[in-house]
Amino acid sequence: MATTLKETDVVIIGLGAVGGVAALPLTQAGIEVVGLEAGTWLTRRDFAPDELRNNYRGWPQGVQKANQEIPTSRATASSPTAPRGSIHPMQNAVGGTSLHYWAQSWRLNPWDFKVVSETKRRYGASRIPGGSTVEDWPFGLDELEPYYDKVEYEIGVSGQAGNIDGKLDPRGNPFEGPRKRAYPMPPLRGTEFLEKMAGAARSLGWHPFPGPAAVNSRSYQNRSACMYHGFCNRGGCHVDAKNSTAVTTIPRAQATGKLKVVTRAHVTTIEVGSDGMPSGVNYVTDGTEYFQPAKVVLVASFTYENTRLLLLSKSKAFPDGLSNNHHQVGRHYFSHHQGAGVSALFPFNINAWYGLPAQGIAVDNWADDNFDHGPLDFIGGGNLWVYSDRRPIGAAGMNTFGRVPNWGSQWKAFVKENADRSNNSYIQKSTLPYEDNFLDLDPVAKDPLGYPVCRVTAEYKENERRIAAFTQDKMEQWYREAGAIAIQRAPVGGAMGVSTHAYGGTRMGDNPETNVVNRWGFSHEAPNLGVLGASVMGTSGAHNPTLTAQALAWRTAEHLAKNFNAIARRRS
Amino acid sequence: MTFISRRDLLKRAAVLGAATPVLHEPDVARPFQGRDGGPERPALQTAAAVRREPLENLTAGEMDILDAVVARLIPTDANGPGATEARATHYIDRALGGALASSRPAYTSGLAALDRYARSSRGAAFTQLSATDQDSVLIDVETGAATGFTGSSAVFFALLLNHTHQGTFGDPYYGGNANFIGWDLISYPGVRTMVTAAEQQQLEKHALKPNHKSAYETDMFTKASGD
């Protein structure tokens, strides 16, 4: 029998990038919050500059509930299930994946909120790809701007503004929507190579700019500036210069005295009371079962786990899973088409041994609807990103551009000369939701407690593949302008697989027939259930999701704090 | 660290006895020539003398094959020492009892299959073949053309190459990259906890000297499992 704990105002499932943000406005409003986290605390001593551990061994070796429930995946409902990965792309810890992510902290562009209406207006309804279930967001960028601003200042983001209240700054992104003020910190420093790439983009008539990063370019809030030591990619920060929620919003929420952090809490289901309202959360710690009653439940795990947890939480009121009486949980799933990059070889050293993946130069000329799609056969686009990031084992595994075999004396001579002469671009391409791309529970694979894992059924469609080919052309053009002597393109995607940029499954929108949560992030069917994370996002844009998911989480939490009595479950 | 078992000692003696009559020089039977006719590498008994602390996971017979394989993947040649001197196989042997334990069965079956394939297709044990023949066997394994493997031989080859990279270019804390051989080969300037703008500029002017340090030389960090 589970031990029933004392009721709390709000229980947050997962204290990662979004749950860790939501805790702050709630506790600052005096609301009692219990944060259930499957992982443990990690500190700067846990973050050694160790490529083997970070990049090859599924760091960290802590409590990893996630690795016991890695989703399965297949391209379509009639495809075989692909071999299951051995490492979940996200991690459990206080701070979650915000500890070891790249920390690129982008706002979405205005078009991303109005893909349907803007496409119809500019090109006609026929240009919405067939089979897509894309909708406009229930609000525009202007609604989210104050929350982007709060998060940027609360956690700390370095960057160069391109548009302050409509006034354009040529050093920043000319395509970004208006912001009220500059970033709290200047951008991360450049390198000789990044300056060269920026110059090449300008000579093509493009608009390069340094990208935004949740990493301190100078000391901020009494935490250190970045040390540029080169182990940020899947590594935590040894000086707390990466602004994870574990060193920003979570400690601040704890300081209010209103946040109780429970680590090693493996949440299994959300309980629903006889009134049809969620009444609390069941979890297991080291084999002991607990029930944490709460007036409001906020689900803040990752996209796959959000959908999975709702589908596993069956009750009389919700026989097909919590908030799933309209059968929208798991629908409108998509992931960024992050693959299909371009690699280049240069006849000179790039000096990329030090730096971080969030230190780079972006071009947004070919993202979203920043260019005329009239003569083209797709909508959307991609953000082109070059950055300073290299470590020795990865360098040894470099692309040899078809010039030598992958081993032996010729290879050895090649890497001796070229280990620091290649560059890999990262092209994030907008992806749409489609009728036949979805998440559900795997009929076979289970976690060690016997619960089915999440199953991804999704593939990139023609629109995504055309964006990929188009942006690869642009990337090659950029590299050639900077002096590249060889180019190689990665294959354009088929099956989506399991991703770090996973969206949907609990989409936000005004129509309960097609969306799980309303414009505030609360369930259409179970009003004291809120959902946080990119799982509520209906479009991806061409930029990393974390800052948008964090801004949405702040907005949902603030709405809850202001309307607590209306939203909270009354004891039945 | 575990010590070599009595069973492994016996096995090793048996393998050596079968492979070559020269018990104290088990690996000298083949000529050492670069893949593309490069200069001769030092005789392997030098390398053999370097290693040979007790094996932790692989059998002696498996280790002999693996030593011969990595010596071809990252050879010792005009561009300096390779995987042998970096002690990549020591890294693999140790890690197979820890972080790479799930690969242990693949090594057992893969190395045996590789040796069987060498015998059936080239007429001798892998360690007894010339460098040219060893390379041609490895190309077959790499391309999936080699027979007798569980699944495609290409999968086993990719595993071997990946682990050889880890053992040659990984942090020496884990038992490979001896004397920073791997990092010097690719001119990696070294693990640092801070890189100033001035140091980045030195690097850009080819003036930043390698520091030859492991991540765990300071007490700043909680040590990872060394396996």
Question: Over the stretch A476-516, which tens digit does the pLDDT of each residue have?
Answer: 999 999 999 999 999 987 899 999 999 999 999 999 999 99
Report the residue of chain B nearest A396, measured CA to CA.
B165
CB atoms B195 and A189 under 8 Å: no
For an interface test with B, the pick among A52, A189, A348 (most B C-beta atoms closer than 10 Å) comes out as A52
The predicted complex's ipTM stands at 0.93
What is the distance between the alpha carbons of residues A391 and A198, in angstroms, rounded to a whole number?
23
HSE toward the beta carbon, residue A163, CA cutoff 13 A: 12
From A376's Cα to the closest Cα of chain B, the distance in A is 40
**Over 50: is that where the pLDDT of B95 sits?**
yes
From A194's Cα to the closest Cα of chain B, the distance in A is 12
From B189's Cα to the closest Cα of chain A, the distance in A is 8
Q: Which of A392, A407, A413 shows the shortest C-beta gap to B188?
A: A392
Q: Provide the mean pLDDT of chain B.
A: 82
Angle formed by the axes of helices B104-122 and B131-143, nearest 10°: 120
CB atoms A409 and B204 under 8 Å: no
Per-residue DSSP letter, A186: P
Asked, as a colleague might, if the bond just before A71 is cis with ω within 30 of 0, I would say no
pLDDT at B224: 74
Looking at the domain that runs over A3-66+88-567, which CATH code has it been given? Answer: 3.50.50.60
Task: Using an 8 Å CB-CB cutoff, list chain A residues near B32.
Answer: none
For the stretch B82-107, what's the b/e string if a residue is b when 16 or more beta carbons lie within 10 angstroms of its beta carbon? Answer: bbbbbbbbbbbbbbbeebbeebeebb
Per-residue DSSP letter, A418: H
Task: Using an 8 Å CB-CB cutoff, list chain B residues near A49.
Answer: 191-193, 215
- Give one word for A504, left, alpha or beta, with left for phi > 0 and alpha for psi -120 to 50: left
Specify whether the CB–CB gap between A341 and A429 falls below 8 A: no
CB proximity under 8 Å: A 212-241 to B? 227-230, 238
What is the distance between the alpha carbons of residues A499 and A491, in angstroms, rounded to a whole number?
17
**Per-residue tokens: A560:** 């809850």
Q: Which of B34, B187, B204 shows the shortest C-beta gap to A419?
A: B187
For an interface test with A, the pick among B76, B92, B192, B227 (most A C-beta atoms closer than 10 Å) comes out as B192
Residue A337: name the closest of A470, A494, A110 by CA.
Answer: A494
What is the distance between the alpha carbons of residues A204 and A195, in angstroms, rounded to a whole number?
14
For residue B134, being part of any structural domain is answered with yes
For residue B46, being part of any structural domain is answered with yes
Strand, helix or coil for residue A108: coil
Task: Using an 8 Å CB-CB cutoff, list chain A residues near B225.
Answer: 61
Residues of the domain holding B21:
6-189
For residue B220, being part of any structural domain is answered with no
Tell me phi and psi for residue A208, to 5 degrees.
-75, 150
**Over 90: is that where the pLDDT of B17 sits?**
no
CB atoms B224 and A412 under 8 Å: no
From A474's Cα to the closest Cα of chain B, the distance in A is 27
Looking at residue A84, its amino acid is R
Q: Which of B170, B187, B224 shows the shortest C-beta gap to A393?
A: B170
Q: Which residue has the tokens 């949907």?
A: A504
Q: Using 50, 70 and 90 to split pLDDT, how confident is the model at B1?
A: very low
CB atoms A409 and B187 under 8 Å: no
User: Total structural domains in chain B?
Assistant: 1
For residue B207, being part of any structural domain is answered with no
**Per-residue tokens: A126:** 């026929």
What is the distance between the alpha carbons of residues A527 and A516, in angstroms, rounded to a whole number?
11
For the stretch A378-393, what's the b/e string if a residue is b when 16 or more beta carbons lie within 10 angstroms of its beta carbon? Answer: bbbbbbbbbbbbbbbb
Task: Using an 8 Å CB-CB cutoff, list chain A residues near B39.
Answer: none
Question: CB burial class (10 A; 0-12, 13-18, 19+) of residue A246?
Answer: buried
What is the distance between the alpha carbons of residues B139 and B132, in angstroms, rounded to a whole number?
11
**Over 90: is that where the pLDDT of B41 sits?**
no
Return the domain boundaries, chain A: 3-66+88-567
E strand spans, chain B: none
For residue B35, being part of any structural domain is answered with yes
Looking at residue A522, its amino acid is F
What is the distance between the alpha carbons of residues A216 and A516, in angstroms, rounded to a whole number?
36
**Over 50: is that where the pLDDT of B54 sits?**
yes
CB atoms B186 and A396 under 8 Å: yes
CB proximity under 8 Å: A 261-320 to B? none
**Per-residue tokens: A84:** 């299951």
Predicted confidence (pLDDT) per residue in B110-158, tens digit: 999 999 999 999 999 999 999 999 999 999 999 999 999 999 999 999 9
Specify whether the CB–CB gap between A569 and A40 falls below 8 A: no
Specify whether the CB–CB gap between A20 and A99 falls below 8 A: no
What is the distance between the alpha carbons of residues A408 and B154, in angstroms, rounded to a whole number?
16
pLDDT at B11: 39
What is the distance between the alpha carbons of residues A62 and A40, in angstroms, rounded to a whole number?
7
Looking at residue A451, its amino acid is Y
From B26's Cα to the closest Cα of chain A, the distance in A is 23
Sign of the torsion formed by the C-alpha atoms of A548, A550, A555 and A559: positive
What is the distance between the alpha carbons of residues A30 and A257, in angstroms, rounded to a whole number?
9
DSSP A483-498: T-SEEEEPPPP-B--S
Q: How far is CA A140 from CA A29, A30, A174, A365, A507, in A?
A: 26, 30, 18, 21, 16
CB atoms A50 and B215 under 8 Å: yes
- For residue A167, the surrounding DSSP H or E stretch is strand A167-168
CB atoms A395 and B186 under 8 Å: yes
pLDDT at B52: 62
What is the distance between the alpha carbons of residues A182 and A162, in angstroms, rounded to a whole number?
9
What is the distance between the alpha carbons of residues B190 and B202, in angstroms, rounded to a whole number?
14
pLDDT at A428: 96
Report the residue of chain B nearest A348, measured CA to CA.
B204
For residue B223, being part of any structural domain is answered with no
Residues of chain A with pLDDT under 50: none
Residue B202: CB atoms within 10 Å = 16
Q: Using 50, 70 and 90 to split pLDDT, how confident is the model at B42?
A: very low
For an interface test with B, the pick among A412, A415, A420 (most B C-beta atoms closer than 10 Å) comes out as A412
CB atoms A189 and B197 under 8 Å: yes
Specify whether the CB–CB gap between A306 and A506 falls below 8 A: yes
Specify whether the CB–CB gap between B168 and B74 falls below 8 A: yes
What is the distance between the alpha carbons of residues A478 and B16, in angstroms, rounded to a whole number?
58
The answer to whether A562 contacts chain B (CB < 8 Å) is: no
From B14's Cα to the closest Cα of chain A, the distance in A is 31
Specify whether the CB–CB gap between B48 and B26 falls below 8 A: yes
Tell me phi and psi for residue A467, to 5 degrees.
-60, -45
Task: Give me the total of CB pairs closer than 8 Å, taking one residue from chain A and one from chain B.
Answer: 136
Strand, helix or coil for residue A168: strand
What is the distance between the alpha carbons of residues B157 and B143, in angstroms, rounded to a whole number?
9
pLDDT at B8: 38
Residue A144: name the closest of A182, A112, A173, A104 by CA.
Answer: A112
Residue A524 CB partners (closer than 8 Å, separation 6+):
A323, A326, A512, A515, A516, A517, A518
- Partners of A261 in the β-ladder: A35
- Partners of A503 in the β-ladder: A334
Looking at residue A40, its amino acid is T
For an interface test with A, the pick among B195, B196, B214, B227 (most A C-beta atoms closer than 10 Å) comes out as B195
What is the distance between the alpha carbons of residues A335 and A454, in angstroms, rounded to a whole number?
15
For an interface test with A, the pick among B85, B163, B169 (most A C-beta atoms closer than 10 Å) comes out as B169
Specify whether the CB–CB gap between A60 and A42 falls below 8 A: yes
- For residue A444, the surrounding DSSP H or E stretch is strand A438-446
pLDDT at A346: 98
- Partners of A267 in the β-ladder: A283
The answer to whether A396 contacts chain B (CB < 8 Å) is: yes
What helix, strand, coil percent values describe chain A, rounded to 5? 25, 20, 55
Per-residue DSSP letter, B134: H
Q: What integer is the mean pLDDT of B195-207?
A: 97
Specify whether the CB–CB gap between A535 and A303 falls below 8 A: yes
CB atoms A354 and B187 under 8 Å: no
Q: Which of A61, A227, A355 shows the shortest C-beta gap to B225?
A: A61
